[in-house]
Structure 1
């Protein structure tokens, strides 16, 4: 009888170990870095790029919404670059003071014109500063359907 009990305990231990060992080998999803928002982010040297997205109604004109963070004791000029519908590269520079955060799209709009994309697509935007190697982000294009994006649609250019 004792042998049967010992065998039962051993078998139960093997079954338990076999069914729970998967968690030791499977990567935990909570340890995977991800962007918990609608936009994409990146780290370029000392520049933190967070929640980059474009808000556009018509796919021709869009507002680049992105948070740029400079945690260093030196200012930096950030280059934003994209291609228009004709394939020409368009550059825009944004100055970041030392130890500062800039919310583009809200306080200061970066309007992309003649971009030929559609809401729901991904649009490539290259971001770089100084001598750091830049990164191209495939930025999601969203429309103003959701209330949180209605106020971020690109402002019409002022008539001269």
Structure 2
């Protein structure tokens, strides 16, 4: 039996340890919950393993140059409509993995992130820095409880 999307419940496709929702309207992404602890331990012993995990999941390489930043939204458990909004110079899939493994992570994202809902980019750093609080405000207006987004 396949793994269901943590956002909409639709079928997912697995690539390495990454699951991607097949419902085009959703497009949610989540890492294999059962493998996160194993990945965390392995990465402590060998930080270079991160590249292999990302390659196995077909996560695109970091973008070089100006348009290399993203704004992303993570779904959080524990509250109805709770999300975390962040900005990164990494691909959002890689940043989400860093959050759940506790590397340079917000407390809310580390302990409560269940899925990557969406991301925007790539864009310039200045544009991402401007877009992050605007996206957080847009989500608040839609009745989401927003963490991050500063």
**TM-score w.r.t. length of structure 2:** 0.32
The structure with the largest alpha-carbon Rg is 1
**TM-score w.r.t. length of structure 1:** 0.30
| Bigger share in strand | 1
